[in-house]
């Protein structure tokens, strides 16, 4: 909706900026300005100023700045039109509607809001009348007190085809308006319209401003469906609305998250237990529109769906839907309730502390996706491992942001490789110290460390050293030298980055360093060896970097030195990587031999033969 500059200026003039902000912030007058603690970030000393004469506020701490409309948008998480309409109502200004189609749309919407409000008031009154005893008894059995029933405006629809229709007519709502609002329905074969909701407990659904736009209705008998929602109308689109949002919006901003549960009663139970940031989708899986709606107010909503299999499937669907709209700084977390609990039952059985513990253990979106989709997939053979990595990359193609798409694919491929490495390390034959079968020759061994003495500048021996420290395993030595060679030679990085990214180092600290340099090597392409070191130290990798740089003290390797000619560096790195990769083949061979010894089958014999051929080809090459 477009507003004229003249109207907006009149709105700003009529409202006192300090009075509007003073509803949220305790202001102290200092000269011609007011000061207080900023409502947009945590601070102990006031840095938030309000200049009434100039009509703006400014925070010197976080940079927040704007006028009365901006403040209402930021503090209440309103859109621009919503903020203008709210402030106009306070100022006693009528919002102008210029275009004829906008004027007609606004008129129709206003009449539908009136119809929904009339219906809500009718249902509230019926709940406490003679015909509403069954509905009121149901709510009380669920533990709801009068204050909660009034806060959520719960009601009851009488078991009559015309009770609401009659009341709407008395309120000046026409039959056509009642049908357009989703309150009345015409028979498919024609005839008089009738009340859509009959004999049900009514849950009003509001927009983010608290205006009633639809209803959810629960039957008290065996009728189906158990829950019935209003149809889509000009006011209501089920996939774009969250139950309880108007009440939860400000508490969510303060808490930093929404709690997304499954049903109306879960939302109400959470609010009563001290979790007023709870909302729920309307009987369907969480949609992309609902996710983005919450992201406009908080960075990471928490999905807290039922602990049964259906709830977990819903969580997995929501996780995958989030990927299609994922953006930097916005994500989801997932809290897993103990089966078969839902929030309402957990709160009744174990209280708010149990619910808080569940929320504190909420896992990130990435962890949830790995656990539910990829963690249990087999990686016993090279074919399975490559198949999984291909599936991972294809799965994350849906992410629109290129940087996030690459980070997710890289992170999950590393998780898959780490899982293989950890499984092998848990076996007695795996790892760098494992002997190879005799017919495949001795394991790769780097040059032996040499004994040396420490001398002063005149060449006199100061401290005799009989032995060097115990060298690391051959594979650990190789990992250090591969990474050191990668860092020391900028022209080599683009050539070998993909292969360095295809392995996972046994040393977790060194592997973290490997991932860090691969993540940034495109951006650090113009940096020399010392420049890369400075960047890594800035990122907090000083300790492991120092350990890496000391690797050549134990294992002389000319190719890894920054002054080595590029051709020698390339040849040395390639040869060492080829030798290093034999450990994967060796582990597969040992596993295949043991499997064949345990159960002599044609498939296992063929697998061993294939691995032997691969080993011979690698040795000959």
Q: How confident is the model at residue 429 (pLDDT cuts 50, 70, 90)?
A: very low
- Out of 236, 271, 296, a domain closes at 236
CA distances from 255 to 263, 275, 276, 538 (A): 21, 9, 10, 32
Q: How far is CA 28 from the centre of its chain?
A: 39
What pLDDT digit, counting tens, does each position of 279-318 carry?
999 877 899 999 988 988 888 999 997 777 777 788 888 8
Cα–Cα dist 615/605, whole Å: 15
Assigned domain for 311 exists: no
Cβ atoms 485, 577 nearer than 8 A? no
pLDDT at 574: 87
Q: Are both 539 and 575 inside the same structural domain?
A: yes
Write the secondary structure of 325-380 as one string of H (helix), E (strand) and C (coil).
CCECCECCEECCCCCCCCHHHHHHHHCHHHHHHHHHCCEEHHHHHHHHHHCCCCCC
Assigned domain for 270 exists: no
Residue 203 has pLDDT above 80, yes or no: yes
Place of tokens 């656990």: 371
Full-model pTM: 0.61
- Out of 236, 261, 295, a domain closes at 236
pLDDT at 525: 66
Place of tokens 């708010």: 352
HSE value, Cβ hemisphere, 13 Å, CA-based, for 36: 17
CB-based burial of residue 307 (10 Å sphere; 0-12 exposed, 13-18 middle, 19+ buried)? Answer: buried
Residues ≥6 apart with Cβ < 8 Å to 416: 374, 379, 385, 388, 389, 392
pLDDT at 430: 40
Instruction: List the helix and strand counts (H, then E) for the chain.
Output: 27, 18
CB burial readout 281-299, b (16+ within 10 A) else e: bbbebbbeebbebbbebbe
Q: How confident is the model at residue 463 (pLDDT cuts 50, 70, 90)?
A: very low
**Average pLDDT for 382-395:** 92
pLDDT at 554: 41
Contacts 24+ apart (CB under 8 A), 129-135: 131/156, 131/158, 131/159, 132/156, 132/158, 134/220, 135/200, 135/201, 135/220
pLDDT at 502: 76
HSE value, Cβ hemisphere, 13 Å, CA-based, for 546: 4
What pLDDT digit, counting tens, does each position of 586-621 carry?
656 566 666 656 666 666 666 556 656 555 555 555
Assigned domain for 404 exists: yes
pLDDT at 591: 62
pLDDT at 261: 93
Cα–Cα dist 207/241, whole Å: 7
Cβ atoms 608, 592 nearer than 8 A? yes
CB-based burial of residue 33 (10 Å sphere; 0-12 exposed, 13-18 middle, 19+ buried)? Answer: middle
Cβ atoms 516, 539 nearer than 8 A? yes
Q: Are both 101 and 231 inside the same structural domain?
A: yes
Assigned domain for 299 exists: no
Q: Are both 140 and 229 inside the same structural domain?
A: yes
pLDDT above 90 coverage of the chain, percent: 35
Contacts 24+ apart (CB under 8 A), 423-431: 424/587, 425/506, 427/591, 429/587, 429/590, 429/591, 429/594, 430/587, 430/590, 431/473, 431/475, 431/506
pLDDT at 475: 67
Q: Are both 156 and 222 inside the same structural domain?
A: yes
What pLDDT digit, counting tens, does each position of 237-262 carry?
999 999 999 999 889 988 889 999 98
pLDDT at 436: 39
| C-alpha gyration radius of the chain | 34
CATH number at residue 192: 3.90.980.10
Assigned domain for 229 exists: yes
Residues ≥6 apart with Cβ < 8 Å to 31: none
Assigned domain for 435 exists: no
Could you tell me the two tokens for 78? 């309103």
Q: How confident is the model at residue 427 (pLDDT cuts 50, 70, 90)?
A: low
Q: What's the structural domain count of the chain? A: 4
As a whole number, the mean pLDDT across the chain is 82
Q: Between these two residues, 61 and 269, which has the higher pLDDT value?
A: 269
Q: Between these two residues, 360 and 586, which has the higher pLDDT value?
A: 360
Torsion angle, CA of 603/609/614/619, rounded to 10 degrees? 160
CA distances from 425 to 101, 422, 584 (A): 70, 5, 12
**Average pLDDT for 449-463:** 44
Cα–Cα dist 473/217, whole Å: 68
Could you tell me the two tokens for 152? 């959520």
Give the bridge partners for 280, in sequence order.
Answer: 243
Helix H or strand E encompassing 610: helix 602-620
pLDDT at 595: 62
CATH number at residue 13: 3.90.580.10
**Average pLDDT for 411-439:** 64
What pLDDT digit, counting tens, does each position of 517-564 carry?
887 776 676 678 888 888 788 777 887 888 777 754 444 567 888 888
Q: Are both 404 and 529 inside the same structural domain?
A: no
Helix H or strand E encompassing 201: strand 200-206
Q: Between these two residues, 223 and 373, which has the higher pLDDT value?
A: 373
Place of tokens 């998780």: 415
pLDDT at 329: 85
Cα–Cα dist 325/289, whole Å: 9
Q: Are both 11 and 128 inside the same structural domain?
A: no
pLDDT above 70 coverage of the chain, percent: 81
Torsion angle, CA of 177/181/186/188, rounded to 10 degrees? 140
Assigned domain for 605 exists: no
- Print the domain residue range for 385: 377-425
**Average pLDDT for 25-44:** 86
Helices (DSSP H) in 382-539: which residue ranges?
Answer: 382-395, 402-425, 474-488, 490-500, 508-520, 529-538
Q: Are both 21 and 125 inside the same structural domain?
A: no
Q: How far is CA 4 from the centre of its chain?
A: 39
Q: Are both 210 and 144 inside the same structural domain?
A: yes
Q: Are both 86 and 105 inside the same structural domain?
A: no
Residue 27 has pLDDT above 70, yes or no: yes
- Out of 27, 58, 91, a domain closes at 91
Q: Are both 482 and 520 inside the same structural domain?
A: yes
What pLDDT digit, counting tens, does each position of 68-126 carry?
999 988 888 888 888 888 888 888 888 776 566 666 666 677 789 999 999 999 999 99
Q: Are both 108 and 192 inside the same structural domain?
A: yes
Assigned domain for 333 exists: no
SS3 content of the chain, % helix, strand, coil (to 5): 55, 10, 35
Lowest-pLDDT range of 194-198, 408-412, 521-525: 521-525
Q: Are both 114 and 219 inside the same structural domain?
A: yes
Cα–Cα dist 128/121, whole Å: 11
pLDDT at 533: 85
What pLDDT digit, counting tens, does each position of 329-339 carry?
889 999 988 87
């Amino acid at each position: 909706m477009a507003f004229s500059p003249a109207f907006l200026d009149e709105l700003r003039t009529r409202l006192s900026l300090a009075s509007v902000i003073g509803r949220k912030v305790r202001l102290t007058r200092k000269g011609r300005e007011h000061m207080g603690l900023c409502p947009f970030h945590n601070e102990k000393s006031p840095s938030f100023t309000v200049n009434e004469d100039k009509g703006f506020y400014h925070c010197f701490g976080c940079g927040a700045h704007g006028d009365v409309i901006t403040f209402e948008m930021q503090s209440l998480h309103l859109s621009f039109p919503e903020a203008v309409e709210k402030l106009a109502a306070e100022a006693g200004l009528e919002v102008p509607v210029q275009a004829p189609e906008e004027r007609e749309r606004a008129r129709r919407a206003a009449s539908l809001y009136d119809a929904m409000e009339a219906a809500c008031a009718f249902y509230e009154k019926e709940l406490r009348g003679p015909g509403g005893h069954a509905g009121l008894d149901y709510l009380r059995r669920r533990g709801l007190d009068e204050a909660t029933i009034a806060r959520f405006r719960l009601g009851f629809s009488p078991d009559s085809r015309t009770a609401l229709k009659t009341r709407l007519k008395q309120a000046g709502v026409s039959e056509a308006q009642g049908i357009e609002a989703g309150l009345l329905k015409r028979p498919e074969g024609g005839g008089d319209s009738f009340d859509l909701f009959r004999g049900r407990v009514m849950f009003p659904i509001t927009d983010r401003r608290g205006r009633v736009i639809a209803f959810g209705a629960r039957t008290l008998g065996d009728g189906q469906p158990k829950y019935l929602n209003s149809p889509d109308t000009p006011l209501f689109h089920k996939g774009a609305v969250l139950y309880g949002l108007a009440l939860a919006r400000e508490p969510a901003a303060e808490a930093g998250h929404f709690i997304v549960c499954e049903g109306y009663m879960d939302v109400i139970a959470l609010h009563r237990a001290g979790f007023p940031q709870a909302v729920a989708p309307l009987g369907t899986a969480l949609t992309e529109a609902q996710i983005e709606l919450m992201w406009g107010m908080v960075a990471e909503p928490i999905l807290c769906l039922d602990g049964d299999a259906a709830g977990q499937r819903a969580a997995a669907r929501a996780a995958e839907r989030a990927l299609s709209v994922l953006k930097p700084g916005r994500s989801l977390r997932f809290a897993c309730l103990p089966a078969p609990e839902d929030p309402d039952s957990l709160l009744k059985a174990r209280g708010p502390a149990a619910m808080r513990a569940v929320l504190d253990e909420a896992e990130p979106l990435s962890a949830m996706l790995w656990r539910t989709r990829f963690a249990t997939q087999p990686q016993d053979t090279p074919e399975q491992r490559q198949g999984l990595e291909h599936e991972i990359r294809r799965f994350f193609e849906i992410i629109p942001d290129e940087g996030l798409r690459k980070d997710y694919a890289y992170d999950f491929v590393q998780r898959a490789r780490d899982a293989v490495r950890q499984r092998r390390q848990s076996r007695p034959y795996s790892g760098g110290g494992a002997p190879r079968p005799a017919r495949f020759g001795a394991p790769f061994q780097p040059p032996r460390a040499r004994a040396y003495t420490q001398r002063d500048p005149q060449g006199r021996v100061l401290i005799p050293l009989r032995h060097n420290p115990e060298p690391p395993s051959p594979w650990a030595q190789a990992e250090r030298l591969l990474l050191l060679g990668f860092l020391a030679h900028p022209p080599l990085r683009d050539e070998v980055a993909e292969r360095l990214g295809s392995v996972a180092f046994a040393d977790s600290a060194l592997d973290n360093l490997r991932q860090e340099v691969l993540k940034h090597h495109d951006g650090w392409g113009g940096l020399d060896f010392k420049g890369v070191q400075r960047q890594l130290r800035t990122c907090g990798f000083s300790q492991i970097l120092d350990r890496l740089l000391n690797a050549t003290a134990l294992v002389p390797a000319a190719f890894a030195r920054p002054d080595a000619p590029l051709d020698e560096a390339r040849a040395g790195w390639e040869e060492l990587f080829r030798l290093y990769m034999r450990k994967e083949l060796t582990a597969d061979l040992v596993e295949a031999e043991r499997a064949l010894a345990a159960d002599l089958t044609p498939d296992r014999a063929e697998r061993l033969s294939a691995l032997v051929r691969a080993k011979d080809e690698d040795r000959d090459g």
